[in-house]
Amino acid sequence: MTSASGNPVSSPHKSIAIFASGAGSNAKKIIDHFSQHPFIKVRFIVCNKPTAGVVDIAAANRIATLLIEKEKFFRGNGYADELKEAQIDFIVLAGFLWKIPQTIINAYRNRIVNIHPALLPKFGGKGMYGSKVHEAVIAAGESESGITIHYADEHYDKGDIIFQAKCEVSRSDTAESLSQKIQALEHEHFPKVIEKLLSEMR
Ligand code: GRF
């Protein structure tokens, strides 16, 4: 959108693209949270796996899915044009395992957030995802774990931290029981943190 003087003006409406390639439980919470929102809308899901649970969640909630291909994601424009054409303001990574290409990082600097199921900077980096994170936390004898919401940049799990919440790791915890505690924290906080960030961007 441009003003009469030809300068871009920021729209009061904010559109989110959720990048996800797993079960999609966080995507579902975010979709529900914003379904009646006055100015924030989940525009589409970006997914690299046609069989992922998140594709069914998107369909059931009448949200379009953009299925992406590896070759184009990493060698072409990284889908930056498609995101801009759809007027996406903000990208949420919710269980998306591919590294975000530089074209998208540049186009959306400080407008891409990721959620990580541990207290960064511990237990992050390449290969640290899913139950591997919780197994590592338990093996290290940690007494607490939690979630980290952070800006995504060109490095895995390294961008500035926006929010953390903690939970206890008890001696009887398994990777499975710990993952349930972490998931509850993610579902409680992720949509609210996104809403706060987008409200501040208006
Ligand atoms: C979450 O644990 C998140 O922290 C991580 O990937 C998982 C996605 O789970 N980045 P779901 O697909 O949202 O259920």
Q: Which atom of ligand 1 is nearest to the CA of 21?
A: 12
Four-residue CA torsion sign, 35, 111, 66, 68: negative
Give the model's pLDDT for residue 188: 98
Pocket residue to mutate for ligand 1, from 157, 186, 189, 193, most atoms within 8 A of Cβ: 186
pTM of the model: 0.93
Give the model's pLDDT for residue 202: 84
Residue-wise pLDDT for 60-105, tens only, equals 999 999 999 999 999 878 799 999 999 999 999 999 989 999 999 9
- Residue 13 in contact with residue 41, Cβ under 8 Å? yes
Q: List, in order, residues 6 or more apart from 154 with CB less than 8 Å away.
A: 99, 100, 102, 105
191 touches ligand 1 (CB under 6 Å): no
CA of 5 to the centre of ligand 1 (A): 44
* Rounded CA separation 28/32 (Å): 6
Count Cβ atoms within 10 A of the Cβ of residue 21 and give its class: 0-12 exposed, 13-18 middle, 19 or more buried.
buried
User: HSE (CB half, 13 Å, CA atoms) of 154?
Assistant: 6
- Residue 12 in contact with residue 202, Cβ under 8 Å? yes
Give the model's pLDDT for residue 3: 43
For ligand 1, atom 8, which residue shows the shortest CA distance?
95
Q: Which residues of the chain have pLDDT under 70?
A: 1-11
C-alpha distance from residue 165 to each of 50, 147, 162, 180 (Å): 32, 5, 11, 14
128 touches ligand 1 (CB under 6 Å): no
Give the model's pLDDT for residue 133: 98
119 touches ligand 1 (CB under 6 Å): no
